[in-house]
Amino acid sequence: MSRKLAKIAAIILGNLLVALAVTAFIVPHGLVLGGSTGIALVVTHLVSLQLSLVVLIANVVLFVLGAACLGRTFAASTIMSTFAYPLAMAILETLPLGGFVEDPMLAALCGGALMGAGAGLILRAGGSSGGTDIIALIAQKYLHANVSALLWAIDACVIACQLPFSDSEQTLLGILALTLLTFVMNRVMVMGRSQVQLLIFSAKHQTIREKILSEQDAGVTMIPIEQGYTRQESQAILSVVPRRKLWAIREMITTVDPAAFWVISEVSEMRERSLSRQA
State pLDDT tens for residues 128-180. 777 888 888 888 888 877 777 888 888 899 999 999 999 999 999 999 999 99
Cα gap 247→249, rounded to integer Å = 5
Residue 235 host element (H or E): strand 233-241
Q: Which domains does the chain carry?
A: 2-189 (no CATH), 195-267 (3.30.70.120)
> What pLDDT, on the 0 to 100 scale, is given for residue 194?
67
Residue of 22, 187, 161, 171 lying closest to 91 (CA atoms): 22
Residues 6+ apart with CB under 8 A from 93: 23, 50, 51, 52
Cα gap 250→66, rounded to integer Å = 50
> What pLDDT, on the 0 to 100 scale, is given for residue 269?
63
Identify the band that residue 275 occupies on the pLDDT scale cut at 50, 70 and 90. very low
Identify the band that residue 81 occupies on the pLDDT scale cut at 50, 70 and 90. confident
% residues pLDDT > 70 (the chain):
94
Cα gap 215→212, rounded to integer Å = 6
Cα gap 102→96, rounded to integer Å = 13
Quick one: how many helices (H) and strands (E) in the chain?
10, 4
What does pTM read for this prediction? 0.74
Does residue 207 register a pLDDT over 50? yes
Angle (CA) 245-247-252 rounded to 5° is 95
**Beta strand pairing status for 261-267 and 195-201?**
antiparallel
Chain Cα centroid distance, residue 21: 16
Residues 244-268: what's their mean pLDDT? 87
For residue 7, the tally of other CB atoms under 10 A from its CB is: 17
Residue of 217, 208, 257 lying closest to 236 (CA atoms): 208
What are the pLDDT digits (tens) for 29-80?
999 999 889 999 999 999 989 999 999 999 999 888 888 888 877 788 788 8
Residue of 63, 64, 114 lying closest to 89 (CA atoms): 114
Cα gap 99→25, rounded to integer Å = 9
Residue of 195, 210, 193, 190 lying closest to 277 (CA atoms): 210
Lowest-confidence pick of 125-129, 177-181, 183-187: 125-129
- Select, from the ranges 8-22, 75-89, 182-196, the one with the highest average predicted confidence (pLDDT): 8-22
C-beta separation of 166 from 177 below 8 A: no
Identify the band that residue 278 occupies on the pLDDT scale cut at 50, 70 and 90. very low
Residues 226-251: what's their mean pLDDT? 87
> What pLDDT, on the 0 to 100 scale, is given for residue 271?
62
